[in-house]
A and B are shown apart, each in its own frame.
Chain A
Amino acid sequence: MANINKGGRHVGIVGVGQTHHSRRRTDVSQAGLVREAVDRALADARMTMDDIDTVVIATGPVLFAAVNQPEKWVADAIGAQLKPVVRVTSGGGAGFAGGLAGYYQVAGGFADRTLVVAYDKLSEGALQYSISTLYDPFWGREFAVGIMGFSAAYWRARMEPLGHTEEAAAMVAVKNLKNAMANPYAHVKREVTVEDVLASKPLCWPIKLMDVPPISDGAAAVVLCSEHVAHRYSDRPAWIRGISYCCEADNAAERSLLLSEPLAIAAKNVYRAAGITNPRRQFDVAEVQEPYTCFELNYYESLGLCPPGGAAELIASGATQVTGDIPVNPSGGCLGANPIGAAGLIRLIEGATQVMGRSENTQIKDAKLALVQSGGGWANLRGCAVLGA
């Protein structure tokens, strides 16, 4: 389910680009924002739009920025006219889902060179209002508002059984914000302490202000190539050795609040495809999409970086620091910048540049294998990928 096994084609990332993310970009429209990331990715791949066979555009929910099917507008700004263009969306995981759609266009032989661009311009809409419409209009909206309430409930459920304490989550904030200091594209740059996080304003307990990522305007783009042509555009492509994105149906009474089932399923698919049997030892680096610090702890366990209940110990041990044996989010993750629809593709970019040996953040020495995670919805859409040089 995850990767090529019967005659499909290998797919590599040959070019990447992202904007300098910020709270509010008043100097560009959505179309201009997309153009910036695309120009950078094409230049990185030594390409022009003429070289591109197909384009995949990904955004968060269109209600975020009040343009329906915005790919039809922004396509003009990147010179994509008369090319195959399609948009996929998957809430917070849209960027990753876009990468997956592009992956299959190349793996399935529909294209040799596919441009994937993902973005959100969150300053242009009412974010939490838009997210609130995610819930069922008949029985869900009466009590569920925004995304923070149920995330807090999830975290709360994990506190005692799994030891996902406020202190452990605060360590995630400290680590990621520190890492973001070295990321030229991050827009939050400040060092904080565990005490600062614990003392920050409660928003929806146990979630506090410093557990929460910023709201950003930003775009990211990658160029994917088939194995037949990749060498023309990159000396060292990042090969996608496995990629999968799974879901969990809503209001399932049996839904586990402890382990993320869709992420565990996706990880199983991807690890099988890529030959991963001991993720903690085999991966050199991981990039995860943590829309609240508590989720990073959950991913450690769902991805098998530690056993269930081991996340607090893992973060406390320093293993996931850039100096540790399994650095997680050397880019700073979502705490450094969070243009939601782009966040999943940014994780792919950060994982790819690590294995290509040219990260613009802290380069993990000799990184050869990267784990990338992304997700969206009400924590029910979850995926991951393995990238190797």
Chain B
Amino acid sequence: MGLSRVAVVASAQTELRPSWSGAQHIDLISAVVTSVFKGTGLTLDDVDFVIDSGSDVLDGRSISNCGFLGALGAHHKEEARVEEDGLFSALYGVNKIRSGASNVGLIVAYSKPSESRVDAYWSAMVEPFYQRPVGFSQAAALGIQAQRYLASSGRSQKDLADVVARRWAAAAEHGDVAIDDLPNSEAVLASADVATPLKQLMMARPLDGAVAVLIAREDIARRATHAPVFVTGMGTSMDRHAFASREGGKLASAEAAASMAYKKAGWGGGEADVAEVSGASVVGEALAIDALGLCEGKTAINLSGGALPADTIMATGLIRLAQASRQLSMPAVYGIPAPSRAVVHGAGGIAMQSNCVFTLEV
């Protein structure tokens, strides 16, 4: 008997807001953990393990998962904390079920950046001896990345602003994202300079939120939902930390992650019907789209709006998985005809040093 097949059974997500000021972490987490079982016939008792993504630094708390175990539904179960984008937690969970050791797993990711200093989260990630003291940071890295991209791609700042406006419009329609004023291209270009040529609205916007994804072995998934979404390929890769040593003008680690996932799936980005792609900036997203071999127009990319209007930091990639799974299982909601293949992408680190790619099929 070979390794088990694993499917996404259901997902649940809070609204993504600039500040969930009336809710604590445990409130956001328990909201998604309690609602993810709706309609599946499964309960918390059926769950063998919980794997979660959150950040001690953003939470201001050591081993913060320890404080959230009850809300996570993990009591007396196996639990693991992957301190990385939530898609990496999903990868761990899929492996656990594929091994035959477990049947049903709950993957949870959350962030509450409104309670933290996001710039400190990033600067604490930079190498401490040579780079941190000179102020090298996420914004600086993304700015340099964007300058190179504009110089080599032939695209203009206005083109980037158009993409941002489209993403925000999509998020307002399908992303469950709190948006007061929908920016158009002019508003994007008129927003504050952050790291030339990137404007404020060209950076991923940190939001509070949580997401839970229920995964299960094939036979259980088929009983729990009429539309199980199978994970058919997974890949990850981490580039060099030293930004100057990375190959410019591309995301080599996203390419390597995609290649690993596509090899297992037996198909590539050009054959995807839908894709959910992360991006630390509009240029980061464009580089990821290139690295994944996706072509906008041929593949419906980021129907949820993606990470630019709604970056829940540790949860962003897992939200991409939840959104892409919904697009495959409930395409009518998104107004797309019978998609069968999806590509999902998550990223972490300074200027997207680390990348994770899933292929999904129905």
Contacts and interface: CB of A to CB of B under 8 A. Distances in A.
- Shortest 8 CB-CB distances between A and B: which pairs? A108-B95, A6-B100, A8-B99, A249-B70, A107-B99, A61-B62, A68-B124, A7-B1
Contacts of B129: 29
A29 B82 CA distance: 23
Contacts of A140: 67
Contact of A87 (B82, B239, B240, B260): B82
Interface stretch (B71-79, B191-199, B266-274): B71-79
Given A6-B100, A84-B236, A109-B3, A68 B57 contact: yes
B237 to A, nearest CB: 5
Contacts of A250: 66-67, 69-70
Best-surrounded residue of B60, B62, B96, B121 (most CB of chain A within 10 A):
B62
Contacts of B350: 72
B339 interface: no
B94 interface: yes
A377 interface: yes
A219 B74 CA distance: 29
Interface of A: 1-9, 29, 61-64, 66-69, 71-73, 75-76, 80-91, 97, 100-101, 104-105, 107-110, 130-131, 133-137, 140, 244-252, 261-262, 265, 376-378, 380-381
Nearest to B132: A67
B81 interface: yes
Contact of B128 (A67, A97, A262): A67
Interface of B: 1-4, 48-49, 55-57, 60-63, 65-67, 69-70, 74-84, 88, 91-92, 94-102, 121-122, 124-125, 127-129, 234-242, 245, 252-253, 256-257, 260, 348-350, 353-354
Contacts of A108: 3, 94-99
Given A62-B57, A134-B67, A140-B67, 5 more contacts: A3-B101, A61-B56, A72-B348, A90-B80, A249-B70
A72 B125 contact: yes
Nearest to B120: A68
A322 B92 CA distance: 37
A348 to B, nearest CB: 16
B81 A89 contact: yes
Contact of B61 (A8, A29, A101, A134): A134
Contacts of A100: 80
Given A5-B100, A63-B56, A247-B75, A137 B61 contact: yes
B62 A63 contact: yes
A29 B3 CA distance: 40
14 contacts: A2-B101, A5-B101, A61-B62, A62-B57, A63-B62, A68-B122, A72-B241, A72-B350, A73-B127, A88-B92, A89-B56, A134-B63, A250-B66, A265-B76
Contacts of B78: 1, 244-247
Contacts of B62: 61, 63-64, 91, 130-131, 133-134
A378 B238 contact: no
B64 to A, nearest CB: 8
Nearest to A84: B236
B71 to A, nearest CB: 8
Contacts of B100: 4-8, 107
A104 B67 contact: no
Contact of B63 (A7, A89, A261): A89
A137 B25 CA distance: 12
Contacts of A69: 83-84, 125, 348-349
A7 B99 CA distance: 7
B240 A380 contact: no
Given A91-B66, A105-B95, A110-B95, A261 B3 contact: no
B85 to A, nearest CB: 10
A135 B68 CA distance: 11
B99 A376 contact: no
B66 A380 contact: yes
Nearest to A85: B238
Contacts of B252: 82
Contacts of B66: 91, 134, 250, 377-378, 380-381
A262 B124 CA distance: 33
Contact of A97 (B3, B80, B238): B80
Contacts of B4: 6-7
A66 B81 contact: no
A131 B66 CA distance: 12
B240 A76 contact: yes
B82 A133 contact: no
A7 B5 CA distance: 11
Contacts of A89: 56, 63, 81, 83
Nearest to B76: A265
Contacts of A377: 63, 66
A378 B63 CA distance: 10
B92 A104 contact: yes
Contacts of A262: 76
B124 A75 contact: no
Nearest to B1: A7
B82 A88 contact: yes
Contact of B101 (A72, A76, A104): A104
Contact of B239 (A8, A66, A82): A82
Given A134-B66, A252-B75, A262-B76, A4 B241 contact: no
